[in-house]
Amino acid sequence: MSAILDADFIARANAPLAASLERDYAALGEQLERRGVAIDTITGQVSGFAVALPSWAVGTGGTRFARFPGPGEPRNVFEKIQDCGVVHALTASTPTVSLHLPWDRATDYTELRQYATTIGLGFDAVNSNTFQDQPGQQHSYKFGSLSHSDRAVRTQAIEHNLDVIRIGQLLGSHALTLWIADGANFPGQQHLARAFERYLESAARIYAALPADWRLLIEHKMYEPAFYATVIQDWGSSLMAAQTLGPKAHCLVDLGHHAPNVNIEMIVTRLIQAGRLGGFHFNDSKYGDDDLDAGSIHPYRLFLIFNELVDAQWRRVPDLRPAHMLDQSHNVTDPIESLIASATALTRAYAQALLVDRQRLDELQTDNDALMASQLLQQAHASDVSPILARARQQRGAAIDPLQAYRSSGYRARAAADRPAQQRGRAGII
């Protein structure tokens, strides 16, 4: 396993950076103290932050036009886990992987789980796939899956989900993420109400098969691949479904699945209020479901989402434990680098949200001081919390500068040598 980064390598990479981190951390600590914030408390909270890596994001993504594979792409789920292990070794904030089935099918899931354990990883939610036809599959999903007009197709899609739950149990997972592509391209193509009813009936059968300590995460998406109407197209449909199914059903918010300019933090807070915020697929976007690196386009929006989460924590909202997962497609970057940058962006937004003086904000809101309330949030977002993030990583044996450490590790070159390129130039899938 020459390719995994060892602790010695990270210690060597950190050595020349430790002294300046010390000074930067002390300077920031002094500055925060003047604002009434104890830096070590924030660092401690940041150390507890974790986000799951999507197995499908360690390969190079693409568009429907083309995919340009990078060197050393993982060829199977074991190699994907290995790449995820590198991200976690460098950041200490990605201890779990979210698998997608059947993309990540293995012959022995107990072996896969053991392998993941040896490199310090566990498993988050498992994802089912009823948006593509698989070789040898009896019925096609061309016109839908769980909401299909034909019962036989619905049954096949339900069975697949039950299979994914069984695999998830072997892996130690505790949630199934349900995203369906079902919908219509044309008005009239589908009876909108009946399709939703059929979805609810199918989802109820999946729900009934959930183990006691599992959650069903219902993911909505406004459009694509269906371009006129999607069965679970918005958080309203998602919440209706969750409330109809029962207490183990929750809503998953993928940041790229909304209409442009939708206020996502508002959706987050409504779902918290309904007790149904199940988790996130973090990514960023400019136009549609672009699956760009988290925080790369709208960092303030990401901060505002974390601001709602931290606020809910501060208000002690009971039983709030949303799954944090990334869902990205890396078309022009080294996926490992993008995942490092994205995990860092999330941690940064979280740390900044922790800096907000909630008591003060409450007073400003009560006094209707719009300007100062807005300034309070902007000041937190403008704070450079990098030394806190670096210290949190350093304390857990990860890299002070994870991107730099990754580049100097030679991991990609070794992976390229160990994993000769397969087929080139296939179309992208996500």
Q: Counting Cβ atoms within 10 Å, is residue 36 exposed (0-12), middle (13-18) or buried (19+)?
A: exposed
User: Minimum Å distance from CB 162 to ligand RM4?
Assistant: 18
Q: How far apart are CA 339 and CA 107, in angstroms?
A: 27
Cβ nearer to ligand RM4, comparing 172 with 288: 288
Choose the one of ligand RM4, Mn ion, none that binds residue 290, judging by a C-beta under 5 to 8 angstroms depending on kind: none
Q: What is the dihedral of CA 248, 285, 339, 390, to 10 degrees?
A: -100
Applying the rule CB under 6 A, the residues between 60 and 119 that interact with ligand RM4 are: 100
User: Minimum Å distance from CB 255 to Mn ion?
Assistant: 9
User: Minimum Å distance from CB 242 to Mn ion?
Assistant: 16
**CA distances from residue 307 to 196, 259, 341, 353 in whole angstroms, order as listed:** 33, 21, 20, 5
Cβ nearer to Mn ion, comparing 25 with 282: 282
Cβ nearer to Mn ion, comparing 56 with 214: 56
User: Minimum Å distance from CB 219 to ligand RM4?
Assistant: 5
Q: What angle do CA 218, 249, 288 make, to 5 degrees?
A: 15
Cβ nearer to ligand RM4, comparing 10 with 255: 255
Choose the one of Mn ion, ligand RM4, none that binds residue 412, judging by a C-beta under 5 to 8 angstroms depending on kind: none
Cβ nearer to ligand RM4, comparing 222 with 239: 222
Whether omega before 260 lies within 30 degrees of 0, making that bond cis, reads: no
User: Which string of x and - marks every residue 135-174 that binds ligand RM4 (by CB under 6 A)?
Assistant: ----------------------------------------
User: Minimum Å distance from CB 179 to ligand RM4?
Assistant: 4
Choose the one of Mn ion, ligand RM4, none that binds residue 430, judging by a C-beta under 5 to 8 angstroms depending on kind: ligand RM4
Interface with ligand RM4 (CB under 6 A), residue from 220, 221, 248, 348? 221
The residue type of 258 is H
Cβ nearer to ligand RM4, comparing 55 with 394: 55
Q: How far apart are CA 330 and CA 265, in angstroms?
A: 25
User: Minimum Å distance from CB 176 to ligand RM4?
Assistant: 12
Check binding of 327 to ligand RM4 (CB under 6 A). yes
Interface with ligand RM4 (CB under 6 A), residue from 93, 127, 347, 409? 127
User: Minimum Å distance from CB 285 to ligand RM4?
Assistant: 11
Judge whether 342 and 84 are in contact, CB under 8 Å.
Answer: no
Judge whether 260 and 287 are in contact, CB under 8 Å.
Answer: yes
User: Minimum Å distance from CB 116 to ligand RM4?
Assistant: 20
User: Minimum Å distance from CB 164 to Mn ion?
Assistant: 15
Judge whether 87 and 2 are in contact, CB under 8 Å.
Answer: no
Where on the chain is the footprint of Mn ion (CB under 5 A)?
Answer: 254, 281, 289, 327
The residue whose two tokens read 């699945």 is 257
Q: How far apart are CA 88 and CA 399, in angstroms?
A: 10
User: Minimum Å distance from CB 215 to ligand RM4?
Assistant: 15
The residue count for binding ligand RM4 (CB under 6 A) is 10
Check binding of 254 to ligand RM4 (CB under 6 A). yes
The residue whose two tokens read 């072997």 is 170
Residue 218 bridge partners (DSSP): 178, 251
Choose the one of Mn ion, ligand RM4, none that binds residue 127, judging by a C-beta under 5 to 8 angstroms depending on kind: ligand RM4
Supply 397's token pair.
């044996």
Cβ nearer to ligand RM4, comparing 28 with 57: 57
Interface with ligand RM4 (CB under 6 A), residue from 83, 182, 219, 334? 219
Interface with ligand RM4 (CB under 6 A), residue from 73, 124, 284, 289? 289
Q: Counting Cβ atoms within 10 Å, is residue 161 exposed (0-12), middle (13-18) or buried (19+)?
A: buried
Q: Counting Cβ atoms within 10 Å, is residue 233 exposed (0-12), middle (13-18) or buried (19+)?
A: buried
Interface with ligand RM4 (CB under 6 A), residue from 88, 281, 330, 391? 281
Check binding of 258 to ligand RM4 (CB under 6 A). no
Cβ nearer to ligand RM4, comparing 65 with 420: 65
Cβ nearer to Mn ion, comparing 100 with 281: 281
Would you tell me which residues interact with ligand RM4 (CB under 6 A)? 100, 127, 179, 219, 221, 254, 281, 289, 327, 430
